[in-house]
Amino acid sequence: MARKRLEIFLEFLVFGIIMGVVEDVIAIKLATGQPITWHTLVVIVLVAIPFAFIGEILVDRHDLIKTK
């Protein structure tokens, strides 16, 4: 069961990072109108990772897999 729990955690973490990056790119583009460079994208990813991790650990504590 631990492997399945890890798989679900990683799936949600990756999805959270992707969604965080997408929403940050949209916000930066709409707020500033500047082009998104590779440097900006790296900073966005580095900012999105901790927020996705915190969201998984603290906020999304759903018991998706029933354990006995």
- Establish if 29 belongs to a structural domain: yes
- Establish if 45 belongs to a structural domain: yes
Q: Which domain holds residue 11?
A: 2-59
Per-residue pLDDT reduced to its tens digit, 2-53: 787 788 888 888 999 999 999 999 999 999 988 999 999 999 999 999 998 8
pTM: 0.76
Domain count, the chain: 1
Q: What is the pLDDT of residue 38?
A: 96
- Establish if 64 belongs to a structural domain: no
CA distances (Å), origin 19, targets 2, 11, 33, 66, 68: 26, 12, 20, 27, 33
- Establish if 37 belongs to a structural domain: yes
Tokens read off for 32: 């500033």
Q: What is the pLDDT of residue 63?
A: 60
CA distances (Å), origin 35, targets 15, 38, 47, 58, 62: 24, 10, 18, 34, 38
Per-residue pLDDT reduced to its tens digit, 47-63: 999 998 888 877 666 66
- Establish if 49 belongs to a structural domain: yes
- Establish if 68 belongs to a structural domain: no
Contact indicator for 60, 12 with CB cutoff of 8 Å: yes
- Establish if 67 belongs to a structural domain: no
